[in-house]
A and B are shown apart, each in its own frame.
Chain A
């Protein structure tokens, strides 16, 4: 069964601190892995997309890693800011042919950055 599990479920950190969010998946056939940021009351916005051959990808203070062998990914946030408070969703894409693909969503990690 295709599944994406995230941990922790929620996290509170102080402004300026770093944090790492985890994602484990069992998805086949694997196409790519995405991290989305979802602010309260808004739709998800893509942070990074990694294919099978990519181990790490950065987007500003966000760095995602992918270990395709162990089927694990992490999202590291450096020098957190109050605006980083959001839900972070790990999404794995399974591609069954053609250009369309099926996205399997994790339940997200709710991050709160406090001053």
Chain B
């Protein structure tokens, strides 16, 4: 079974530039997550999709961050314009979300390391 795919793996941009990240979840996984992981910290949820609808975007800085999952499969996360504090690893994860189970495991991609200069 193929894992969660992300691209690019690394990106270096200058502040005020725009950047986009792409994620392809595991086939059949209805739920997709974008996390921001700053060096030395645990991941922080930015946005959660259930199919192509947004379930939770309470921690997404909506003035500069946007995300979409138009067909309920792939997703893109965009930052426009980037700030220095956006330097982090952006992780994508997906889960099946079966009903009537005690947990739904999230599978993570390798992440995109963003450096804003």
Are A41 and B110 in contact (CB-based, < 8 A)? Answer: yes
**CB-nearest residue of chain A to B41:** A107
- Indicate if B91 sits at the interface (CB-CB under 8 A): yes
Are B104 and A43 in contact (CB-based, < 8 A)? Answer: no
> For the complex, would chain A's binding face be called helix, strand, loop or mixed by DSSP majority?
strand
The number of inter-chain residue pairs (CB within 8 angstroms) is: 60
Whether A45 contacts B97 in the complex (CB less than 8 A), given A31-B102, A93-B103, A105-B44, comes out as: no
Are B40 and A107 in contact (CB-based, < 8 A)? Answer: yes
- Indicate if B55 sits at the interface (CB-CB under 8 A): yes
- Indicate if A32 sits at the interface (CB-CB under 8 A): yes
Complexed CA–CA distance, A35 and B101 (Å): 19
Please encode chain B, from 72 to 92, with 1 for each CB lying within 8 Å of some chain A CB and 0 for all others: 000000000000000000010
Task: Note all chain A residues with C-beta closer than 8 A to B109.
Answer: 43
| A: contact size bracket | 20 to 34
Complexed CA–CA distance, A21 and B93 (Å): 25
- Indicate if B98 sits at the interface (CB-CB under 8 A): yes
Question: Looking at the complex, which one of B31, B50, B105, B110 makes contact with A42 (CB distance below 8 Å)?
Answer: B110
Complexed CA–CA distance, A45 and B41 (Å): 16
Question: Looking at the complex, which one of A31, A89, A102, A106 makes contact with B103 (CB distance below 8 Å)?
Answer: A31
Are B108 and A99 in contact (CB-based, < 8 A)? Answer: no
30 contacts between A and B (CB under 8 A): A41-B111, A41-B113, A42-B110, A42-B111, A43-B91, A43-B108, A43-B110, A43-B111, A44-B91, A45-B108, A46-B106, A51-B103, A93-B103, A99-B98, A99-B99, A99-B100, A99-B101, A100-B31, A100-B48, A100-B50, A100-B55, A100-B97, A101-B104, A102-B45, A102-B56, A103-B45, A103-B106, A106-B42, A107-B40, A108-B41
Interface residues of A (CB under 8 A from B): 4, 31-32, 34, 41-46, 49, 51, 89, 91, 93, 98-103, 105-108
